[in-house]
Structure 1
Amino acid sequence: MTLHLRRVLVLLLLVLAPIPVAARPAWACSCGDNPNPIERAEVAFVGVADDVDPDWFGSQVEVNFAVESVLKGAPGRSVTLVTMKDSASCGYEFVEGGKYRVYANAGETWSCDGNELLSTGHDVSDRPRVIFWGGTAFVLLLVAGGVTWLIRRS
């Protein structure tokens, strides 16, 4: 492999490497008409999201709530619910410290259930940016290592 071709290959890999990290999934979650979510819910309550714990290797998030008032059912003083990680998969993005009106069935809640943010908690607006740049840095390190290996091998 000539030196010029090798340099073009390295440059091409460095330019194209972040593209898979920058791409977002194209899934969609569409909800039907839901005029009264409390009718469909087994449990409904107003509570504060005390702990939002994503399953780093899966697609779900476990959310622990401190129940302030009960709208339907008997949730107890605290409730742990499961939802998907992102809204594209019909998950509801809860923020720690946020106060919500929550509608749930069988220990799960989704974006189509009619959940409502009543007051904000901690600001996590930088989380997607951190994930994006962390993933980009990881891919660039992998590409740089692969390119270094290729150069030393030839």
Structure 2
Amino acid sequence: MQRTQFGEMACSIARTLDVIGEPWSPLILRDVWVGLSRFDQIQADLGISRKVLTERLNHLVEQGVLERRPYDARPRFEYHLTDKGIDLVEILMVMVRWGDRWLAGEAGPPVLYRHHACGQVAAVDPRCSHCGEPMHADGVDLLPGPGSAR
């Protein structure tokens, strides 16, 4: 079955989903972010089939989110986040905030995040790039942008 292509839609959410909308991709990015860089490490952590992992890694490399770096004389590679991939991890951090709030239960969040700048454990809180105030869904208006289809 052919996967729907969202990349040509005039919607930044759809375009992002075209890159990481398949369920394994965010988990692969998470693993690479936390330091699992080799195929076998990622495969063992996720329990994903080798075929699916190969397809997902190839897609993420083609999209410029991950890069391959050889680590052995044989054709073996480590995977590392590109700048584009690091930006995607920030999306994952916002997903963590939602999951911690709504799904962690009484046990609490499985992972805490210490901010390098201040050394404190904190939750992700998207802020306005202009004024620095928190941005929430009920506090913004959507306006047509220069790439709008309308």
TM-score calculated relative to the size of structure 2: 0.24
| Higher Cα Rg, which structure | 1
Higher relative contact order structure (alpha carbons within 8 Å, sequence separation ≥ 6): 1
TM-score calculated relative to the size of structure 1: 0.24
Q: Which one has the bigger helix percentage?
A: 2
